[in-house]
Structure 1
Amino acid sequence: MSKKILMLVGDYVEDYEVMVPFQALTMLGYVVEAVCPDKKAGEFVRTSIHDFEGDQTYSEKRGHNFTLNKDFDAVDTADYAGLVVPGGRAPEYIRLNARVLEIVREFDAAGKPIAAICHGPLVLVTAGVLKGKSCAAYPACGPDVTCAGGKYADIALDKAHVDGNLVTAPAWPAHPDWIAKFAALLGAKISI
């Protein structure tokens, strides 16, 4: 089994949702390869920080630059054990890329673990892989999940949801649960 994980990102991906899983999965011994349509290894994407400050929705601020470490055009899904789709603004537009959708469909067809968080499930919606599945997402994305034939899992912001090969969560406060459940689907052994 491969120890490589593919991460699909784009400009204004949510800062925590790209940085934390990248680092945590690397700590578990996985090689995480982050790619972005139309970009190459060594280039970067800008991140955004979404925070929950008591408003009707999240606030958004400029985050960091996140360096890509793989060319998007070189992705072969057979090389990977799992897929991570962080949230933020990026899912809104990377889902317009036909190869992004093919990548998601290839992981799903192979039954490989797919982790999506916050707005990341929008990519799964557009790829058409949610029909008959339950999926958590940022609450504003719930109607999209339902319209795609899925069942929106309305769970607490700090929890994750598993349905088969899919592990999803509403937002970055769920990182501990989301990453642990994804690691379990990958078959990772964690000992302290």
Structure 2
Amino acid sequence: MDDHVDEMTNDLTTTGQGKGAEGQMPDASALQAEIDKWKALSRKNEDRFKQASTELEGFRQSQMSDTEKAIEAARQEARTAALSEVGTKLISAELRAASSAAGVTLPGAEFLNLNSFLGEDGNPDSSRIEAFVSSLPKPSSTPPYPQDLGLGRQGSPAAGQLTREDLARMSPREINEARAAGKCDALLRGEG
């Protein structure tokens, strides 16, 4: 076993893939090139596998008898029916999640055709859901009615009212104008 490991190490150093000729590690660009090479090979093998799987499925379909084909069609139909039944619950959950993320309010479920959000495979179609949620109006940031209705008097009762010191510095004409404007009401009530 140790001889085998030594052979592999020698092969790596002689081919230049381990340490370099001077005993140094290869640079980052060489490592990145090696990573890219293996990724490309992996993708190529993955594509071959998908192609072989498709060919195998086609071969299986061609070798099926009529009853087997009918059974397979019934299975697909039952699967689609079950997914569409559960799919409406999934759609409603996805609609709620998408609308809360977007900050919009959904119309009532009785007004929505949830089956229109189903894909051909019976699963929720997220692109249709996103398009619908983005078409909903955003709520306005201003309240629909004034928020201070029925709150009573706001602020200090003496706000805008004149004091005795203010009156001492005013002329009789200014005092009469202030009284007509309601700026002396607190003094007239004996509050100041």
Which TM-score bucket, shorter chain as reference?
under 0.3
TM-score by length of 1: 0.20
- Quick check: which one's helix share is greater? 2
Choose between structure 1 and 2: higher strand proportion. 1
Output the TM-score relative to the length of structure 2: 0.20
